[in-house]
Structure 1
Amino acid sequence: MAISENAKKYHEKMFPGYESDFKRTDPEFSERFDNFAFDEVVNHDDMSDRTRFMTILATLIGCQGKEEYQAMVPAALNFGVKPVEIKEIVYQAVAYLGIGRVFPFLKITNEVFEKQGIKLPLEGQATTTTDERLKAGEQAQIDIFGPGMKDFWKSGPKESQHINYWLADNCFGDYYTRKGLTLKERELMTFCYLSAQGGVEPQLTAHAKANLAMGNDKQFLIDVISQNIPYIGYPRSLNALRCVNDAASELEQN
């Protein structure tokens, strides 16, 4: 079996002292996967390990990779992702996947944290009250998407106007206003949730545009897609790439 030295070293950083049983049961697969994911992919660009693992966690939540997420949380901690950042990645995912799909990841995170000796609950990160969250959420929308979001929560047909209201006060007012992640990081996490779950290309294109506007440039988003190909495969990655290209083209035309 010819797992490269680079792949071995990176695997050891992720999981110190751990030897995967797949090397015994599936040696050919282990060789190809480890060499690809932990050598060829991670050495493709100069993305920091911290950023890489934040995107991996968000991507695994998006694709419902519970077992791999459980394995990767300790690795993320080993590479400098803070417990509060991991919790914020999980919390924000609720707005994009719903509690039905995020509930297992919240339980897994708590189990891993307690096993690692991380005391729960973590320090609170909320910056709004129920009375303030609508105004703060609207401001977050404006900061991310531009002045066109002013009074967006009042728009739309009467029968569904409440959903735009909830987008402002719940999605953005409850989550994006929290500490622990910057707005730029939160938009990147959203890009990962959406690209991983698939079937939401209109929203993915909109959030790709938001990422570009906030300074996560086209090449960086392509690098994020590339780093997560081992976790979600090629079809959803290629769809995400198309959305990034579409978003960049739309911004160039405006």
Structure 2
Amino acid sequence: MSHAHPTAPSRLSEGLDVLKVIGGSAPTPLEAVSDIAPDLARYAVEFAYGDLYTRPGLTLPQRQLATVAALAALGNAEPQLRFHIAGALNVGCTRREVVEVLMHTLVYAGFPAALNGITAARAVFAEHPAAPGPPEASDAPAASGPATAGASERFARGLRALSEVDGHSGQQVVDSLNDIAPELGRYLIEFVFGDVYQSTGIDLKTREMASVAMCTALGTAGPQLRVHIHGFLNTGGTREEAVEVITHLAAYAGFPAALNGSTAAREVFAARDAA
């Protein structure tokens, strides 16, 4: 008995159904570029939404948060970022979750990327007043001055979070800086893990999923991607979910980024098996 692959019309139909759930009444890629590149529009619907979004392994809210994280980190696709922020709200993500993922971007792509992402979110929120959950202020512990007792508390708090999330892999990164830029290592512990990771707007697993998505999309952070694949697994993510996040990024960062991410995942899995 032969097993025929889904026909093009069925993939297109499935993709349009998913796109309607995510995009609501927003213009679809078919409408946006059908006059100049109709095949590109069809590929976007069939592959991104008909193939990738219908795969098991991640929920639609997870896929949307990973997409928002990746697009915000890339910083070169504001219309698509706005579309997927709205899409995150449409599939049940809260404003707080979206804001936290965008704030998390500053760790991996810098403050400009995070600020631009927040600006995009503000515009989307104004268009979606009924979206669930207000963008509450972060409840992370307040930072103290570098010469106060609070600074040592931030460092200790950051070390605990670093150990919980990234374990030995994270400590290796910090230790590797001791001979060249020890202050950078301290900032990583105090600011990244002592401040940013302490906010409770999203859980640690979601933060690490966003980190994997950003590092995969950027394509310039192989060692850090491996650390955060470890971190994703350490905080409750599965190998299947990690691979699915990376595979999903083929639509938004390209196949080379997804292929390199898959190679990194294979190395992490092998290292954990060996250990």
Given the two structures, how large is their TM-score scaled by the length of structure 1? 0.90
Residue number in structure 1 paired with 2:147: none
Specify the code of the residue in structure 1 equivalent to 2:64: F
Percent identity between the two aligned chains:
19
Residue number in structure 2 paired with 1:11: 19
Specify the code of the residue in structure 2 equivalent to 1:4: L
Residue number in structure 1 paired with 2:65: 54
Q: Does structure 2 retain, via aligned residues, the 8 Å contact 1:194–1:203?
A: yes
Match of 2:36 among 25, 37, 48: 25
- What CA RMSD, in Å, does the superposition of the two structures yield over aligned residues? 2.6
Specify the code of the residue in structure 1 equivalent to 2:55: H
Moved more, 4-13 or 181-190: 4-13
1:48-92 CA-to-partner distances (Å, cap 9, x unmatched) read 111111111111122223221011111110011110000000111
Is 2:80 the partner of 1:68? yes
- Aligned runs of 1:89-238 on 2, under 5 Å? 89-117=101-129, 122-130=135-143, 131=150, 132-146=153-167, 156-157=177-178, 160-238=181-259
How far apart, in 1, do the equivalents of 2:263 and 2:229 lie? Answer: 10
Q: Residue 195 of structure 2: SS of its match in structure 1?
A: helix
CA displacement at 1:24 relative to structure 2: 3.5
CA displacement at 1:157 relative to structure 2: 3.3
Specify the code of the residue in structure 2 equivalent to 1:33: A
How far apart, in 1, do the equivalents of 2:178 and 2:189 lie? Answer: 16
**Residue 228 to residue 152, structure 1, CA distance change in 2 (3 Å):** closer
Is 2:262 the partner of 1:244? no
Aligned length: 254
**Residue 242 to residue 153, structure 1, CA distance change in 2 (3 Å):** closer
Specify the code of the residue in structure 1 equivalent to 2:44: F
Specify the code of the residue in structure 2 equivalent to 1:251: R
**Residue 164 to residue 111, structure 1, CA distance change in 2 (3 Å):** same
How far apart, in 1, do the equivalents of 2:12 and 2:113 lie? Answer: 36
**Relative contact order, CA 8 A, sep 6+: which one is greater?**
1
Q: Residue 146 of structure 1: SS of its match in structure 2?
A: helix
How far apart, in 2, do the equivalents of 1:159 and 1:30 lie? Answer: 49
Q: Does structure 2 retain, via aligned residues, the 8 Å contact 1:154–1:165?
A: no
How far apart, in 2, do the equivalents of 1:121 and 1:13 lie? Answer: 22
Specify the code of the residue in structure 1 equivalent to 2:114: V
* Unaligned segments of structure 1, at least 5 residues: none
Runs of 4 or more, structure 1, over 4 Å off, are 118-121, 147-156
**Residue 67 to residue 248, structure 1, CA distance change in 2 (3 Å):** same
Residue number in structure 1 paired with 2:92: 80
* Unaligned segments of structure 2, at least 5 residues: 1-7, 144-149
Residue number in structure 2 paired with 1:38: 49
